[in-house]
Amino acid sequence: MKSMRNRMVILALAITVILGLLACSTTGGLISRNDPTATPTKTPKPTFTITPTPTDTPVPTDTPTPTATFTPTPEATNTPIVLTATPTEEPTETPVPTNTTAPPTATRRPPTRVPATATPAPPTNTPRPQFAWNGVVSNQMQNCGLTRVFGFTLANNGALAGDIWVHYWADGWDGDWAKSQWTDFGAGTSWKGDEGNWDGTIDVHARDGVWHVCVVEEDNSWSCISNTVDVKSSSDCVAGHQIFHITFRKN
């Protein structure tokens, strides 16, 4: 390959030299015919261009075709079949049950419940009353000719209690004191509701006012030994009340 490239280079140089000589001869002939002879000039020497040496292109190599690799298949082995026999147990004879009389079982009686006796609750202490006597309004009536408080003083067993002082008064008025009797002054009259053993007349006509009444220890005393009962009278004889029946009972 290298020698062929050298030959081509030499051939190219030879052709160049021949062409140069031919050009010189032609030019010289024309000048000699037509023109005066000129002084010949030096023909420049041709310059040689060095042609690079072509590089050898590598010839492609054939890619080897893959070959199938033979893998030997193992031969199947015959697995021996082993038959195992399971021994069958011989059935055993079940004994025939005999009628055995079971002994009687004792029935347990439930325990007898003893009724629980209720424990009596301890007696509660009754609060002691604040006063020795307790008073309430037992009746109220209309009367245009009288303003009055009256009633009973009773023992704790409900019997009449005499010689008990009752004080009645109003705000701004000291009032008066009435002493109870041992007898009911209204028992022999035909007027129902006029019974009592103490009497306190306030006025002889209908009068407006609020009156306070309580049991005291003695005459002219302001120390109440009962609760104070308040009543309100009216001068209106039709719509209001003027007479009040008050009962005091000893606790």
Which sign does the torsion angle of CA 28, 34, 35, 36 carry? positive
- Tens of pLDDT, residues 131-181: 999 999 999 999 999 999 999 999 999 999 999 999 999 999 999 999 999
User: Pick from 160, 178, 170, 179: which is nearest to 207 by CA?
Assistant: 170
45 — pLDDT class (breaks 50, 70, 90):
low
- Flag whether pLDDT at 28 surpasses 50: no
197-207: b (≥16 Cβ within 10 Å) or e: bbbbebeeebe
- pLDDT for 57: 53
DSSP letter, residue 162: -
- Tens of pLDDT, residues 8-26: 878 888 888 888 777 765 5
Lowest mean pLDDT among 63-72, 104-113, 211-220: 63-72
Pairing of strands 243-250, 147-154: parallel
Q: What is the DSSP string of 179-217?
A: E--SS-TTTTSS-TT---SEEEEEESS---EEEEEEEES
- pLDDT for 174: 97
- Flag whether pLDDT at 213 surpasses 50: yes
206 — pLDDT class (breaks 50, 70, 90):
very high
- Tens of pLDDT, residues 70-127: 555 555 555 555 555 555 566 566 655 555 555 556 556 666 665 556 666 766 776 7
pTM of the full structure:
0.51
Q: For 180, phi and psi rounded to 5 degrees?
A: -75, 155
- pLDDT for 36: 46
- pLDDT for 76: 53
CA 166 – CA 215 distance, rounded (Å): 5
- pLDDT for 15: 86
End-to-end Cα distance, the chain: 160
